[in-house]
Structure 1
Amino acid sequence: MIKHVAAKGREYYGSRFEVDDIDRPVITKLLAYFLRDDDVAAAEGLDLNKGLLLTGPIGCGKTSLIRILRLLALPAYKPVIKSCREVCFEYGNFGFEILQKYSNRSFEPSTSTPRAYCFDDLGMESLINYWGNNFNVMAEVLLSRYDLMVNCRMLTYATTNKNAEELEAIYGPQVRSRMRAMFNLIAFHPESRDKR
């Protein structure tokens, strides 16, 4: 399966795409998660009822891997990838309606199936000024999606190059606590090379 991931990577990102040995543990965990392999997931310490928080250095391939591995996922686990900056810009233009779009109205049309989102570059967005108030859009989205995870099994994915302390400084201790409950943490090795 890792060879398949490497082949898909070359197809999408060009002949320079390769899977480094240092990244194999991360890819193994992601494969177990997206293929819903109970045995491997349990051996890797993953809870298939939670989402994913994929962390690592800038340029290590977090977003690229999510794009490749989402192709293997069943529809309910196939995330729509959305940049956190884009979500915040949408909020700046349309206001609280955007919070609903990514939370209470985040269900597949004509069904009660929750829509999975992958929020890319979590922690890199700015506070948004809306009607004179600075607002932490992603903190509100995460809090709302936590409630929906508890009540509707809604899964959330995110990529970030921030560590836990940096995320807490941006979003506060309440969001950090909810993130522990929402996410399996999968971390690239700090020495994973920049692949861009």
Structure 2
Amino acid sequence: MENEIKSHYSYTEVINWLQAKGVELYGNHFKIVETDYPIVYKLIAYSLRDEPTCFQYGINLNKGILLSGPIGCGKTSLMNLMKYLTPTEYKFSVKPCRDISFEFIQDGYQIIHKYSIGKLYQSEPRTYCFDDLGTENNLKYFGNECNVMAEILLSRYDLFISKKLKTHITTNLSATEIETHYGNRVRSRLREMVNLIAYDKSTLDKR
């Protein structure tokens, strides 16, 4: 695979560096396994903004990333590692969807504003990676049920169109399950907003 990549970056060296960084962050059991290299290469190409390689993989640098795969395959740790490769102006924060849903219970609708429009007192919208989409539940705030993540994603879509704001997502849901949970509007907006990078369904749980 590596020798097929026509790039001025050495992807083998980058993977070695990420492996070392992973051990530093997560402990000695952390390992980037070879069967995951096709996924990792795509994430590296995107994070380094390596245009020729992204073109080879059909990855659009103007969109975000939707990394989908079974539970325990290492999506979150990989996205956390990619933050270290990403140039400053493309840095992002990883935010678990469950945490957002708990914030919503506490603070209500301003949470949707916070994760879509940006900080309440800061006009610059932020790039987020919403981690584990689908683990949060529909929540009630003063008796009103709200699909918090659907609202946030729809708002961010408007900002994607108007300000090129990127959104990254990790999920173990399939496209069909995303539609079931969040509706077909969200699914069709996501098609425009993100590059889908998917693990094989048979990928083993690494936990």
Q: 1:158 aligns with which of 157, 160, 169?
A: 169
Query: What amino acid does structure 1 have at the position aligned with 2:82?
Result: L
Structure 1's 108 and 17: CA in aligned 2 closer, same or farther, altered over 3 A? farther
Query: What amino acid does structure 2 have at the position aligned with 1:174?
Result: R
Query: What amino acid does structure 2 have at the position aligned with 1:8?
Result: K
Q: Distance in 1 between matches of 2:19 and 2:206?
A: 13
Stretch moving more, 97-106 or 83-92 = 97-106
On the 8 A contact 1:9/1:17 being kept in 2, the answer is yes
Report deviation, 1:10: 1.2
**Stretches of structure 1 lacking an aligned partner (at least 5 in a row):** none
- The question of 1:8 aligning with 2:21 is answered yes
Q: Distance in 2 between matches of 1:107 and 1:29?
A: 34
Query: What amino acid does structure 2 have at the position aligned with 1:23?
Result: D
Structure 1's 44 and 81: CA in aligned 2 closer, same or farther, altered over 3 A? same
RMSD between aligned residues: 1.5
Structure 1's 95 and 107: CA in aligned 2 closer, same or farther, altered over 3 A? closer
Structure 1's 150 and 108: CA in aligned 2 closer, same or farther, altered over 3 A? farther
**Aligned match of 1:30:** 43
Report deviation, 1:131: 1.8
- The question of 1:20 aligning with 2:44 is answered no
Q: Distance in 2 between matches of 1:108 and 1:65?
A: 31
Instruction: Give the TM-score normalised by structure 1.
Output: 0.94
**Stretches of structure 2 lacking an aligned partner (at least 5 in a row):** 1-13
**Aligned match of 1:187:** 198
Report deviation, 1:191: 2.4
Q: How many residues align?
A: 194
1:121 alignment partner, SS class: strand
Structure 1's 108 and 128: CA in aligned 2 closer, same or farther, altered over 3 A? same
Query: What amino acid does structure 2 have at the position aligned with 1:195?
Result: K
Q: Distance in 1 between matches of 2:41 and 2:121?
A: 29
On the 8 A contact 1:123/1:160 being kept in 2, the answer is yes
Larger RCO of the pair (alpha carbons < 8 Å, separation 6+): 1
Instruction: Give the TM-score normalised by structure 2.
Output: 0.89
